């Protein structure tokens, strides 16, 4: 099976694995340096990898077809990502990885709420219950 043919949930699990590794490597890497500098270095690495993939697969041709709304949403997403990373690395520098990462993952609750409001996605009772449990776990970790 080729990587590109994996189902969505396999990519989601890989994302979770790489996010976990990100936290561990970041915590080890930010010792003795500014969290902002660490974020900048990490961003350059991501930039190189992402463009290498896009150029290597020929997907850069799609740039010409991007509309104004797409550009705006991608730029806003980039701004949100950058701010998230800056805050995350600073939190990792100040707190333990085992406390920071689960609190960061409370974004699951925020995503559920925002997807209902802005994307019109339905909120099932299972999703609401799961979000409530995540929120409760986050509160336990904070206290």
Report the C-alpha gap between 138 and 97 in whole angstroms.
Answer: 14
pLDDT digits (tens, 9 = 90+) for 90-137: 999 999 888 888 889 889 899 999 999 999 999 999 999 999 999 998
Q: Provide the whole-model pTM.
A: 0.80
Among candidates 45, 50, 31, 143, which has minimal Cα distance to 89?
31
**Which token pair is 130?**
């799961």
Residue 105 has what DSSP assignment? T
Report the C-alpha gap between 48 and 38 in whole angstroms.
Answer: 16
Report the C-alpha gap between 30 and 90 in whole angstroms.
Answer: 9
pLDDT digits (tens, 9 = 90+) for 36-89: 999 999 999 999 999 999 999 999 999 999 999 999 999 999 999 999 999 999
């Amino acid at each position: 099976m080729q990587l590109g043919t994996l189902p969505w949930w396999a990519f989601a699990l890989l994302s979770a694995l790489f996010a976990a590794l990100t936290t561990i490597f970041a915590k080890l890497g930010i010792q003795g340096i500014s969290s902002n500098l660490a974020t900048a270095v990490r961003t350059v690495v991501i930039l190189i990898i992402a463009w290498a993939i896009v150029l290597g697969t020929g997907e850069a041709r799609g740039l010409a077809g991007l509309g104004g709304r797409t550009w705006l949403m991608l730029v806003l997403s980039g701004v949100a990502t950058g701010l998230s990373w800056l805050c995350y690395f600073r939190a990792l520098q100040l707190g333990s990885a085992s406390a920071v990462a689960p609190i960061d993952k409370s974004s699951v609750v925020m995503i559920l709420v925002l997807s209902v409001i802005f994307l019109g996605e339905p909120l099932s009772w299972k999703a609401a219950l799961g979000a409530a449990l995540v929120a409760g776990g986050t509160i336990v970790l904070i206290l």
